[in-house]
Structure formats: structure tokens, C-alpha cells
Amino acid sequence: TDMDTADEAVRATCDDATTCKRFATSKGYWKDPYIQYFVRSVGERKAPEINRGYYARVQGVNHLLDAFIKKAECDCQIINLGAGLDTTFWRLKDQNLLPRKIFEVDFPTVVARKIHNIKTKPPLSKPIIETHSTDSLLLDAHSLDSDRYCIIGSDLRDISNLDEKLKKFQLNPELPTLLLSECVLVYMTPSQSSSLAHWAAETFHTAMFINYEQVNMTDRFGQVMIENLQRRQCTLAGAEACQSLDSQKERFLRTGWDHADALDMMTVYSMLPQDDVARIERLEFLDEKELLQQLLQHYSICWATKDKLSLGLSQLAF
């Protein structure tokens, strides 16, 4: 059916993200020794502005994520919604920043592929085994469950299934919880993404939600971005929710979150540690500075918090 084709195209977007991240790391934009196990080859060259865009995305999201973990002193959990082939578990383990448990959710077919890679590649499986205390590690074709890392196949538009599966794998609603969605909500309708934000606000009393996605899609540049995705059969059901930074914040403020902030990625880029920005700007010559600016202005990070435990989450920023 058309619906299946659309979902299949959405599932394929995780390969794009991983391929672009792999290419940028091969150029030295940032380090990720694990991504090579998820995409075999470095692939064709990506334009410098794409690499810088991914740099801003990864550094921007990691900045907030690491700040949350430090505030909670690792006594917290992460739920990565639409995680795709994300390598955050391995990075945090190497940096001694592992929370109590990381949960990842994606479509069952994406999860099956990720688990297959983990099973067959010791550099991926060893850290999971090392952080697991008993011999009861669950690693079948459709789910992985260890003490510190859990991967679940579920459709994020089906909240009751999501809630049930997370609880089955020992999600703890009492722990400070970081929810992350990176280029995911845009594929859902505004009502579906609002339901997800509402479920999270209802489930956790102390939490932060980080959402990275397209914004300002109403201008000419935004229309071209939408057309490019549509050409690959991807329905951007959420494009109308990506109108402005205010609408990004509203999605959370209307669904039970106490505090929300949003910045476009041009602003984030200018607030990242400038010595490292200077380093990556020397990696590749960029002719069209304006193109980079336009690209960065069409993506945003929005973060929302609620903080019953008074950890100081509303102070987290750039």
C-alpha cells in the first residue's frame, strides 16, 4: 500500500543520516570509532556545507545531552526515539558518562538490522556484555535487553504499545529521563508528535526532551527541502509543525512541559566552542558561506524540561 511505501521511505532515512555522519567523521569533523560498523563504506563525497551541518547537529545535541547527564550525575535514563543506527551508547561508555540505562526505539525492521550488526561485530557487542552483570542478556532478532542498553522495535505513533514495551524492559518513571528525537517528529503528523510529547510529560516528573528537526519551512529554501524529501516518497507529515521556533516550543508548552527553549542551528553553530569550530572550518574549503547559513537556519534544536526534583534542568542551555 501507499502507507507501507511511505513508512519504508522513512525507515531508509536512517541510512542517510548514518552515511553522512560516517563521511563527516572520515574527514575529521568529530570522532566516532563505532559508526564504521553500521555503514560499510565511507561512500561518495558530501559537500562541505552538509558536513558542517552534521557537525552542528551532532555537537549541538551532544552538548545538551551531556549537560543533562552531568546534572543528574548519571543517575538517569535516556530514551532515544527513532534512534536509527545512533552510536551514543558506545560514546557515553567510553567517556564514563553512561546513564543507568539507554533505551532506543525504532521500527522493528530498523531495529533488526541494528541488532544484527551488534551481534556480528565484537567491537559493538563487547561493551554491552561488559556492562551487563548476569548471564540473562536478551539478544534476539527483534530486541536487545541488557542492564545498561535496550533496543525496542515499536511504532512511535502507537503510544500504548510504546509504553507497554518500555515498561516490560524496566523503564523507571521515577528516574530523571532524557528523551531525544533527532529528525524523527517531522515524519509524524502534528497530532501524533504532540501525543508523544504529552505521553512523555505525563510519564516522567523530572525530564528533558530534546528535539532536532527542520524549521522555517515556509520560505522558498524550505519548500525545496520538502520537495527533495517528497521525491523520495517521504511524507513530511509534520512539516506544518515546523513553521517557527515558537511553534517548536508551543508543541511542548501545550502538552505539559514547564519550560521550553528553541534555537536555529545558525545560532547554535555560533555558540559552540569556537576553537573547535575554527578547527573544522580549516578541514575543507567552503566557497558558499551563504548556502551554509541558509541550511543552518532551516534546522533547529528545541528542548523542554520539567523538574520536580529541582536538578536545575531549566538552566541547561548553550
Of the candidate residues 79, 144, 183, 316, the single one contacting ligand SAM (CB under 6 A): 183
259-264 vs 177-182, strand pairing mode: unpaired
Residue 209 sits in the site that holds ligand SAM (CB under 6 A): no
Exactly one of 49, 104, 145, 182 binds ligand SAM (CB under 6 A); which one?
Answer: 182
Q: Which is nearer to ligand SAM, 66 or 258 (CB)?
A: 66
Tell me the residue length of the chain. 318
Q: Residues 106 to 135: which contact ligand SAM by CB under 6 A? A: 106-107, 110
Taking contact as CB under 6 A, which single stretch among the options 177-185, 225-233, 263-271, 280-288 is the one that binds ligand SAM? 177-185
User: Least distance to ligand SAM from the beta carbon of 219, Å?
Assistant: 22
CB of 58 to ligand SAM, least distance (A): 9
Stretch that binds ligand SAM, among 13-21, 45-53, 132-140, 233-241 (CB under 6 A): 13-21
**Is 163 an interacting residue with respect to ligand SAM (CB under 6 A)?**
no
Contacts with ligand SAM: how many residues (CB under 6 A)?
A: 20
Stretch that binds ligand SAM, among 7-15, 241-249, 274-282, 293-301 (CB under 6 A): 7-15
Instruction: Tell me which residues in 51-90 interact with ligand SAM (CB under 6 A).
Output: 82-84, 86
| Angle at alpha carbon of residue 88, lines to 205 and 41, rounded to 5° | 150
Kindly state the smallest distance separating residue 169's Cβ from ligand SAM, in Å. 16
- Which listed residue (155, 163, 250, 284) binds ligand SAM by CB under 6 A? 155
Binding flag, residue 29, ligand SAM (CB under 6 A): no
Under the binding rule (CB under 6 A), the answer on residue 17 touching ligand SAM is yes
Query: Looking at 88-96, 182-190, 273-281, 291-299, which segment touches ligand SAM (CB under 6 A)?
Result: 182-190
DSSP the chain: -HHHHHHHHHHHHHHHHHHHHHHHHHTTSS--TTGGGTSSS--S---HHHHHHHHHHHHHHHHHHHHHHHHTTT-SEEEEET-TT--HHHHHHHTT---SEEEEEE-HHHHHHHHHHHHH-HHHHHHHHHT--SS--EE-SS-EE-SSEEEEE--TT-HHHHHHHHHHTT--TTS-EEEEEES-GGGS-HHHHHHHHHHHHHH-SEEEEEEEEE--TTSHHHHHHHHHHHHTT---TTGGG-S-HHHHHHHHHTTT-SEEEEEEHHHHHHHS-HHHHHHHHTTS--S-HHHHHHHHHTEEEEEEEEETT---GGG---
- Please report how close the Cβ of residue 170 comes to ligand SAM at its closest, in angstroms: 20
Pick the closer one to ligand SAM by CB: 27 or 132.
Answer: 27
Out of 24, 64, 102, 184, name the contact with ligand SAM by CB under 6 A: 184
CA distance 299 to 278: 21
Identity of the residue, 99 or 153, whose beta carbon is nearer to ligand SAM in the bound complex: 153
Spatial separation of the C-alpha atoms in residues 264 and 246, rounded to whole Å:
11
- Determine, following the binding rule CB under 6 A, whether residue 213 of this chain makes contact with ligand SAM: no
Task: Note the residues at the interface with ligand SAM (CB under 6 A).
Answer: 10-11, 13-14, 17, 82-84, 86, 106-107, 110, 155-157, 182-184, 187-188
